[in-house]
Structure 1
């Protein structure tokens, strides 16, 4: 009797502990005390997580341990891309958005072939690393949109959330980064500016999952957001800090249904294009010097970014204006006696890589996603997507957005309105 009582007590205590974890995570896939949460299919969550994690390589780990880690992730990324492609071909409905994303990846490879020929083999590997995330992300969301969007959100949140926690531990232990042979000290996930690629997906997916539970903001979402701010503040990435402040402002705005008529996909895209024109061509930053230098602690060149912007525009001659340089100029942009590995601006990086044709194709994706967000602007979950996409566009003013996080949310923005996840949004 005593042993049976002890076993029952131990089992009950274990269930209580698990239930506490469940309540904090708002987990839908495990319900030990029969709270009747809406269920997600754990098999698909696992599948999506396995397909996604090769695209989130912790570069600091590669530098700290061995280059073999990078080669392993490259092989896994290639395998994941092939599997996603097969799933799309045989199981997903084809549409303009996904086909355009595929066309962009093909264009970037073709442009690399034209410019590189039989030259450096590693350039083709770099081209794959740069542009396979766009294709893979869009094709995966295109497959999941009807029946498995909730599972995809869980997979994205789990992968990026775990990595975000690991990166925070790294940042708290070594705030100045770890000198491991790269040009600048690195954190667990890589350069300090890369943290945003973990923060936005983990917080954004958590908020979208909250809407399926008829709530606006959970403890889980708040925790991921605090973790993100800790990373950005301790390492001080000005771009990421500004982006997160904008994100909070947008999330606050979309809490009000009337505000969603103004804070929508089209307005965010228009604001981004205007900001790009003012920064790259008008040089408005020179008029904002007191704010940039005094408030953000940065120079009006944005740590040399204006030099590479001007340089990229200067090399777009008639022979490269249409299809660009592909990946042949990656790690080869030398301006003002400094080597840049990318254009440090979303539009300019697409331009130098794929020329005007690349800008038109990627512009079509942006416009289609913005129109989809505008069409469903009155839903709170759409407002959350507007906040995340708008935040990525802020980052795109200073970075090239050649990661998997950005196209994942661009595709979510386009497909969300017709997805099962959107239908579960009961928040007014």
Structure 2
């Protein structure tokens, strides 16, 4: 009888993991239908029907969150940020469909963690690990198709999308794997090593200097935090301070001009492939009433006749949601960083702090406002950051 009960509990756990895997697969890549053609597969639905399905899937975590949690500070602020962008998009007569399809998976990922992080942290990690790993495998299959032209930085697009987006699956796959290792009292398993090697390979084939550099930093820090004496220094506060210094040093004061040889060694120009011009355009537009309201989800920046988004997370949020939206995001980050600082001697906390630092590095040049980023930030607050949960979830390795 006890064995049957154990089997029933195990089945329910894996059923939950499977359901979460499917949801995260949709959230990570809501435009999956557009990519099926890479494998000569037909689209299953019309684009409109699929968009409605994505939003419907994204509504599931909202109702689950309201039922299990009701309303708390972190989840409420995450929903508020989503709503602020909606108001700005509507005020600026932007594309609300784009807002719903592209941003609702971000909120949904965060609210799933809010709803299930206390009792089902392992299932959440397993679900994200499976979903992101499947996309890594699809990327690898796509690379094999292009084997004749396979060289360093050869591919602009992989199965998951444009090369700059590969970190959306590389970072959560590796981080979820090492967090699961820590939960099992292990430092690093073969699974984690294989995932890291595969992800790094894909980041180099579809070369993105920032993402590859950030992923290497993540790997180095994951090794360094195995030493107990170094672990407390990799925490939420140190990550937040590091990002603030990098933002003002690189984006505002352009200190990179003094270290041009290092930038060129990474294969980047001092303008970071024209990003400094984009930043200047964005900064010039953040003034007057627009600084308060933002320009909504559909904004674009015109530089040399081409349209761009801000290519920096802080400027991206300012353009979409103004200072109110940015302030909301900053509070969310501070809440997560504070929890990580309190539990800074824990190995899982150090892993998560390293993950947020790698995202911060990428956020200097790209937007990390994506489902993977929302998941990791929320997990830092709900799944790892609470001291009592950390002690129960992971031994001090």
Tell me the TM-score normalized by structure 2.
Answer: 0.89
Listed one character per residue, the Cα deviations across residues 317-366 of structure 1 (whole Å, up to 9, x for unaligned) are 2021112111131xx321133221x2111111011111110110000001
How far apart are residue 185 of structure 1 and its match?
4.4
Q: Which one of 321, 325, 339 corresponds to residue 307 of structure 2? A: 339
Q: Which one of 78, 84, 91 corresponds to residue 114 of structure 1? A: 91
Q: CA 1:399 to 1:422, structure 2 compared with 1: closer, same or farther past 3 Å?
A: farther
CA distance in 1, matches of 2:334, 2:198: 32
How far apart are residue 235 of structure 1 and its match?
1.7
Listed one character per residue, the Cα deviations across residues 262-281 of structure 1 (whole Å, up to 9, x for unaligned) are 21111011101110111111
How far apart are residue 79 of structure 1 and its match?
1.2
Aligned residue in 1 for 2:319: 352
Please say which structure displays the higher CA radius of gyration. 1
CA distance in 2, matches of 1:191, 1:161: 17
- Is it true that 1:301 corresponds to 2:271 in the alignment? yes
Unaligned 5+ segments in structure 2 are 1-5
How far apart are residue 307 of structure 1 and its match?
1.0
- Is it true that 1:412 corresponds to 2:389 in the alignment? no
- Is it true that 1:61 corresponds to 2:30 in the alignment? no
- What's the secondary structure of 2:230's corresponding residue? helix
- What's the secondary structure of 2:250's corresponding residue? helix
How far apart are residue 72 of structure 1 and its match?
5.2
Q: CA 1:247 to 1:59, structure 2 compared with 1: closer, same or farther past 3 Å?
A: farther
Aligned residue in 1 for 2:116: 144
- Is it true that 1:80 corresponds to 2:57 in the alignment? yes
- What's the secondary structure of 2:242's corresponding residue? helix
Q: Would the aligned equivalents of 2:156 and 2:206 in 1 still touch at CA under 8 Å?
A: no
CA distance in 2, matches of 1:383, 1:336: 43
CA distance in 1, matches of 2:381, 2:340: 7
Matched residue count:
379
Q: Would the aligned equivalents of 1:177 and 1:185 in 2 still touch at CA under 8 Å?
A: no
Q: Would the aligned equivalents of 2:28 and 2:105 in 1 still touch at CA under 8 Å?
A: no
CA distance in 2, matches of 1:50, 1:388: 23
How far apart are residue 176 of structure 1 and its match?
9.6
Aligned residue in 2 for 1:383: 350
How far apart are residue 133 of structure 1 and its match?
2.7
Q: Which runs of 4+ in 1 moved over 6 A?
A: 175-178
- Is it true that 1:232 corresponds to 2:203 in the alignment? yes
CA distance in 2, matches of 1:223, 1:73: 33
- Is it true that 1:158 corresponds to 2:127 in the alignment? no
- Is it true that 1:400 corresponds to 2:377 in the alignment? no
CA distance in 1, matches of 2:318, 2:395: 41
Q: Would the aligned equivalents of 1:60 and 1:189 in 2 still touch at CA under 8 Å?
A: no
Q: CA 1:177 to 1:189, structure 2 compared with 1: closer, same or farther past 3 Å?
A: farther
Q: Would the aligned equivalents of 2:352 and 2:376 in 1 still touch at CA under 8 Å?
A: yes
Q: Would the aligned equivalents of 2:292 and 2:324 in 1 still touch at CA under 8 Å?
A: yes
Aligned residue in 2 for 1:167: 139
Aligned residue in 2 for 1:223: 194
Q: Which one of 285, 295, 299 corresponds to residue 325 of structure 1? A: 295
Unaligned 5+ segments in structure 1 are 1-33, 179-183
CA distance in 2, matches of 1:187, 1:231: 9
Q: CA 1:155 to 1:100, structure 2 compared with 1: closer, same or farther past 3 Å?
A: same
Give the alignment's Cα RMSD to 1 decimal: 2.4
- Is it true that 1:313 corresponds to 2:283 in the alignment? yes
How far apart are residue 63 of structure 1 and its match?
5.8
- Is it true that 1:370 corresponds to 2:332 in the alignment? no
- What's the secondary structure of 1:258's corresponding residue? coil
Alignment of 1:6-155 (within 5 A): 41-57=13-29, 58=32, 61-62=35-36, 64=38, 71=48, 73-116=50-93, 123-155=95-127
Aligned residue in 2 for 1:252: 223
